[in-house]
Chains A and B, each alone.
Chain A
Amino acid sequence: MAFSAFASAAPAQEPAPKRRSKIALLLLAPGVLYLVIFFLVPLFTLVTTALQAPTASGDIGQYVPGFEIGNYATVLAQYSPQILRSFGYSLVATVFALLFSYPLAYFIAVKVRHRPLLQNLLLVLVIAPFFISFLLRTMAWKSMLSDESFLVSALKGLSLMAPDAHITGTPFSVIFGLTYNFIPFMTLPLYAVLERLDTRYLEAGSDLYARPFTTFRTITLPLSAPGIISGVLLTFIPAAGDYVNASRQFLGGTGTTMIGNVIDSNFFDLQNYPAAAALSIILMSAILVLVIVYILLSVYVWKTGTEGLL
């Protein structure tokens, strides 16, 4: 099964032991039950909530079980800009994160390989943003890019920016925030594959008179494909669902709302639970399609294992 190849990332050789399945059951049951109750049942609840109908009296926040497939059509019609924007923004942010991370990961994984302490210290710097609150990091960028900030007044002073232009509240700042916040998720899997890159292949390439770019394109890039795929998914999935960067208190504006923002506002402000649920299912399905494409590509096209993703 493709999925088992996908999920059992770490061990290349699963020892496939035998023995007492009662103990296995005892070990598995509590955790698996927990995930069923707090992961699967909620997903199922979303599916049923998305089909609910308003009550006869039409009270806000009151719904009865139903089979309103039309809820999906309604949210697709109403929120298609936000849905498309989510995937557009996160796609662009993912590409930027990849371009940003690849040289950095290559440097840490290959160029300083012979100095393990330095290598580890540089890795610590890559993950350092994780140690400070995600929201404060984003808030810091908001402050640094706000209209009163030094940067913006300097740009305006130098006439590099129109006097009435803004950075925050634009698609640019949202994509910037998404890129910044998810860079480590891209850099780490790239590092993981590049760290195992055998540089003798590169030497072989250049011994055979390949130009550096050819060596990169035909050797380094294919060998790092699993890391690229993992990094792309690890960046794209959370970025598509994120609503902090795009929210108005942070880097977004009225014209930058993403699917996460409308799920949030439908849930809390409008108490339109069926719409929030339908949007969640749409987001989840789109992501699942991507994951399945990933499995097919990695198994049948790149013929790589799926190591590094998890």
Chain B
Amino acid sequence: MTLQEARALGTVMETPAPRPSRARFSLGRWLLPVYSALALIFLLVPIVYTFVFSFNDSLKSNISWRGFTLDKWTNVCAAQGVCEAFGNSILIGVIATLAATTLGTAIAIALVRYRFRFRTGVNLLLFLPMATPEVVLGAGLAAEFLGLGADMGLVTIILAHTMFCISFVVVTVKARVTSLDPALEEAGRDLYASPGQVFWRITFPLLLPGIVAAALLSFALSFDDFIITNFNSGTTDTFPKFIYVSAARGVPAEANVIASAVFILAIVLVLAQQISAAARRKRLAKVQ
């Protein structure tokens, strides 16, 4: 294959479908791009607002603009309870993510790789939590914990979050297990690797991107959950619950600082991943 041909192939692989011939199908050449730009700006408005008001020299309530300050950024924990709530959210997110990712990954492997009875039942059990409104999940768990006489707090929140994260982990990891070629593991076994070696040296590394994606999704779901948490938290505050509770008298600007910092971190991670993936695509096209 000549270099030109390879390059052409690379381009073709990058653009799986032919270009739409614009002149004929666009709802007017500019209407759609302009609408899309406005729609995206609309989606971002509250984010910008939250970020801008993290610099507001506000007192208790953070509704009207009172002047620019960096104080809230340099002294985040000044608002009572906000850092404690944030710490709780991180702790809950990490433990629930670890638990849900472990349980969910095992289920995903079993679903794709093994034949067993009650498959339909297991699929249904995984699907239903995703189709159940949060308020029902929250009230049900709270009724159960109440009946058991359990103290509501960190432990009950973690138990609840692990539950609703499992299904999302299974869906995410399952896609990865499906795309995994069993021949690779067979090759390992043929070379006398023990089942443990096959799993840790071959299966696990190949599944890792899916597992990481699932873990990130779980953490994000746990971190931002309010409704289920509210039913099962007792007096313990998480970051979203802190906002809900303080909403009546005004959310302090420090909450905006934390949310903005988390947002920036998340968006930087996602953009870095996107850009490196694009660079890899380009490099691959060149090498070929």
A→B interface (CB under 8 Å): 1, 3-4, 6-11, 14-21, 23-25, 27-28, 30-32, 34-36, 38-43, 45-46, 49, 100, 103-104, 106-108, 110-111, 113-114, 116-117, 120-122, 124-126, 128-141, 143-144, 146, 148, 180, 183-184, 197-200, 202-203, 206, 212, 215, 233, 237-238, 240-244, 249-250, 259-260, 263-264, 267, 273, 276-277, 280, 283-284, 287-288, 291, 310
Contact = CB atoms under 8 A, between A and B. Distances in A.
A31 B166 contact: yes
A181 to B, nearest CB: 10
Interface stretch (B1-9, B17-25, B68-76, B201-209): B17-25
Interface in B263-281: 263, 266-267, 270-271, 274-275, 277-278, 281
30 contacts: A3-B123, A3-B127, A7-B123, A7-B124, A19-B114, A24-B115, A24-B116, A27-B106, A39-B125, A45-B147, A46-B143, A103-B27, A106-B32, A107-B36, A111-B20, A113-B17, A117-B275, A121-B274, A129-B43, A136-B255, A139-B247, A143-B62, A184-B43, A200-B18, A237-B133, A240-B133, A264-B230, A273-B143, A283-B136, A284-B133
- The winner among B24, B135, B240 for most chain A CB atoms within 10 A is B135
A116 B281 contact: yes
Interface of B: 14-15, 17-22, 24-27, 32-33, 35-36, 39-40, 43-47, 49-50, 53, 62-64, 103-104, 106-107, 109-116, 119-120, 122-137, 139-144, 146-147, 159-160, 162-163, 166, 170-171, 174-175, 178, 182, 220, 224, 226-227, 230-231, 239-240, 243-244, 247-248, 251, 255-256, 259-260, 262-263, 266-267, 270-271, 274-275, 277-278, 281
A4 B46 contact: no
Contacts of A114: 15, 19
A287 B132 contact: yes
Nearest to A31: B103
B163 A34 contact: yes
A43 B136 CA distance: 8
B114 A113 contact: no
Given A1-B120, A36-B125, A120 B274 contact: yes
B123 A8 contact: yes
Contact of B132 (A6, A113, A137, A284): A284
Contact of A38 (B115, B139, B160, B178): B160
